[in-house]
Amino acid sequence: MNSSVEALRATFGSAIGRAIESCGDTIVYIDPAKLPEVMRWLRDTPEQHYDYLVDVTAVEYRDRERPLEVVYNLRSLARRTDLRIKVELDPQGDLTLDSVVPLWRGADWLEREVYDMFGITFRGHPDLRRILMWDTYAEGYPLRKDFPLRGRFSRAEQVRQALAANPEAHYSMEELSIAQAYDGLPPDMQERLRRGERAKIPYSE
């Protein structure tokens, strides 16, 4: 098991819950209230140095008795070591956690996706809004187990809502400028993008 587990227990005591090994991965459950403190310690402690946030996601199980889990995959690039942190939330209770964007800027869109798909709110997030569904989407959270496979509205109603939305009202000037930059690309690059081709990275095999 990852040596970080014992170091976490020694530092945070009862805030560290069970730790398991699964398919070669170490998974540690922590107290939601201690999330920012634990994550900062994992990032900043020289012996830990988990400097790369690989992913943030969530899992809801079919068993209604089980909590909803928010999952953080961390990696120490220098140590070549991975650690998975899980926080359990009551699906019927308060689905709010502190954002880790102040620690890892890359958590921005990852937390927005979890918010959009699962309805988990990240306190302190700089721009918490839907990222896959439009802002006025009213059907709920598509990856929750209570979400019907065909949605709650007809396909026609979904299309009507999507067309009625004003996408430009929900994006920053920076995001819009990136999209508009397409017109300034060389014609051959525009054509490759239209065909969905991936460019070859120089010196790659």
Using DSSP bridges, classify how beta strands 96-98 and 81-89 pair: parallel, antiparallel or unpaired: unpaired
pTM reported for the whole predicted model: 0.76
> How much is the pLDDT for 179?
63
- Domain at 4-149: CATH code: 3.30.460.80
Do 91 and 64 touch, CB atoms closer than 8 A?
A: yes
List the chain residues with pLDDT less than 70. 150-155, 158, 161-163, 165-180, 196-205
pLDDT, residue 203, reads: 46
Using alpha carbons, select from 94, 120, 100 the residue that is nearest to residue 54: 100
Q: Which pLDDT value is given to residue 126?
A: 95
What are phi and psi for residue 202, nearest 5 degrees?
-55, 140
Residue type for 50, please? Y
64-114 pLDDT, tens digit per residue, is 788 999 999 999 999 999 999 999 999 989 999 999 999 999 999 999 999
Question: Domain ranges in the chain?
Answer: 4-149
Residues 6+ apart with CB under 8 A from 47: 7
CA distance 93 to 142: 18
H helix or E strand, kind and range, residue 17: strand 16-22
User: Residues 74, 54: contact at Cβ < 8 Å?
Assistant: yes
Q: Within 13 Å, how many C-alpha atoms sit on residue 90's CB side? A: 3
Q: State the DSSP string of 35-56.
A: HHHHHHHHHH-TTT---EEEEE
Report pLDDT for 184: 75
Question: Who's near 79: CB < 8 A, 6+ residues apart?
Answer: 49
